[in-house]
Amino acid sequence: MSKSMKWVALAATLLSSPSYGAEPVRRIAVYVQPFYESGRTSGERPRVAVGAQFNDLLSSNKREDILAARDRILSAPGYVTPMTMIALAIRLYDVGLRDDSVFWFYVAKDRYIVMSEVLDVKTPQLGLADEAARNFATLAGPVINGYAFCDLSQQKSQHATAVAWVEANPYQTMFLANAPALPGNRADNAKRAIANAKERAAKESAYFDDPKNVEMHYATRKRNEVDVKFCWK
């Protein structure tokens, strides 16, 4: 198995950890300072600090407010940060819109990865955002992927659609003159990064074209009671 295939296998099976217990996971409890802090109970509003125009909507426990935040992002996505999109994905999961949550989690992840191949995220200017994005993915990813991989065909479609959205809606912050960039032409680097994102999605899809990998995937989930946790209706 190639290195890339091993990565895909790991990404698909790490979410099978039984750490959440065999109970349905109905909300995502994460703490990523200074951007997000979940409520201590399901009824308590989270503290959200990802952008003034989104904070109140995303901290609401009303589904219509979370959808309003999503629609606001869709109306003008150019400068919306990946952290905002991950916060949206978390809140969509919390209010039961888990398919939307998967899509926006993949959009946020790939928007950030593309950005990291254009901008120098290790500079002091971007270091906090880099750490936060990684923490969001590490903490929220197992839950969102836990649901996403309930249905492999749907997960494949969601991932491909998310990559296409990222390509069609480039993150304009990558092209700001005051944003520290990696060597090379920014537009060329962004184009290359999108190609890399498409390749990752294709490799993930190809991994699950093998019936043996599909069988192993579902067997692992069953053994660890993952479906009980994430595939509830």
87-146 pLDDT tens trace: 999 999 999 999 999 999 999 999 999 999 999 999 999 999 999 999 999 999 999 999
Whether 111 is covered by a domain: the verdict is yes
Pairing status of strand 36-37 against strand 47-48: antiparallel
- Report residue 100 CA to chain centroid gap: 11
Q: Which residue has the higher pLDDT, 42 or 218?
A: 218
Give the tens place of pLDDT for each residue, 73-86. 999 999 999 999 99
Whether 204 is covered by a domain: the verdict is yes
Whether 176 is covered by a domain: the verdict is yes
Domain count, the chain: 1
Strand order in the sheet with 47-48: 31-32, 36-37, 47-48
Mean pLDDT of all residues in 153-179: 97
Whether 233 is covered by a domain: the verdict is no
Domain residues for the domain of 37 are 3-17+27-227
Q: What percentage of the chain has pLDDT greater than the value 70? A: 91
Whether 143 is covered by a domain: the verdict is yes
Whether 81 is covered by a domain: the verdict is yes
CB count in 10 Å sphere of residue 118: 25
- Mean pLDDT for all residues in the chain: 91
The position carrying tokens 């969509």 is 92
